[in-house]
Structure 1
Amino acid sequence: MHGPALSGWLLMVLCGVAGAHCLLRTRGATGEERRAARAEAAMGFGMAAMAVPAAVLTPSAWTWAVYAVLFGGAALRALWFIRGGGHHLQHHLHHLVGSLAMVYMAVAMAPGGGGHAGHGAAASAGGIPLLTGLLLAYNALYVLTSAGRLIPVAATAGAPGDGPGRGAQPEVALACRLTMGIAMFAMLLTL
């Protein structure tokens, strides 16, 4: 990722923590909630890996191809679940847009892919400005609507028999999604 090293570290930690929490959510979830938590964990860890400051670790050329393939697979997975429709359609559409945005960033950040040859100081901005702008607008809207849904959510107790920290915690899951939306916005800004 381009930009100041401190912001890269902060994004890396934020996305890593969100990914770890999503991974922990898979333990208490079933069915669709478990699939969503797995997808969000993969997105969080992938975003954390991409946010490592270039001054600390300069990724090799093949790293960007691996990111593109992994997030391309996540986009195909989201498409697979979209085909069935259902009440989680909006969530799968968001995963599709997020995964495709990660593929786009991986391609734009690859040496020769968008002008970021080796993360050099003289590297020009990568990506297609119109597409970057559309993705920024989407993520800004997503963050604002997610924040709006988070405010009125009252804390609820988990299902009977759930231990501490287990059970349904929709406000924490929404906060993780909000965090990753903000991080995606910040990563797109550095593109």
Structure 2
Amino acid sequence: MIKVMIVDDNDIIRRGLRTIIDAADDLRVVADAGDGRSAIEAARRARPDIALVDIRMPGMDGLTATRRLLELDTPPHVIILTTFNTDEYVDEAIRSGAAGFLLKDSPPEELLRALRAVHEGHAMLDPAVTRQVIDAIADQAPRLSPQEKAQLESLTAREVDVLRLIGRGLSNADIGAELFMTEGTVKGYVSAILTKLAAENRVQAARVAYRAGLDSG
């Protein structure tokens, strides 16, 4: 059973998300909170596997809450909930270690798919969401550092091919279809890429791909 915590200051949104998640056989909401500070205490008690965190909340906002949650002894994966009127915070959220982003009006099946994928460690995001996240940081993304350039150069040609498609927001299944690989093979490449780039998740790898200009290839 995948344990989920919902953090959003809007009670209607929390209740709606809970209804969708609790209807799934393999998912259960174990806690919810209306602000970041309450979320930290709730996470300590309930030990969720995943926290859905609204990026804008009164008091302790979603960015601070994300950092604090990831500092816990048993940190949950964090998925940011956003309406994309918060572009100035997206890059910082990625660097804070958020595993992914979801639009608040995402279809229920996309929400459930993202929760399951993140729990498996894949940080699988809807391609449209990933694309919007990357576009949102385009104007503020700095050039690659010398260390990042060296990390990028350590990738094999095939790993670069996979990274390019990650940067375009493709899922593992879509990458496999594009490169004529099994999904399992793609997962192996993604794991190697994350290790070589010292990226915590797929979104951070996509950010590197964008900054390196790979996503448009």
TM-score by length of 1: 0.32
Which structure: greater strand fraction? 2
The higher relative CO (CA closer than 8 Å, separation ≥ 6) is in 1
Give the TM-score normalised by the residue count of structure 2. Answer: 0.29
Greater helix percent: which structure?
1
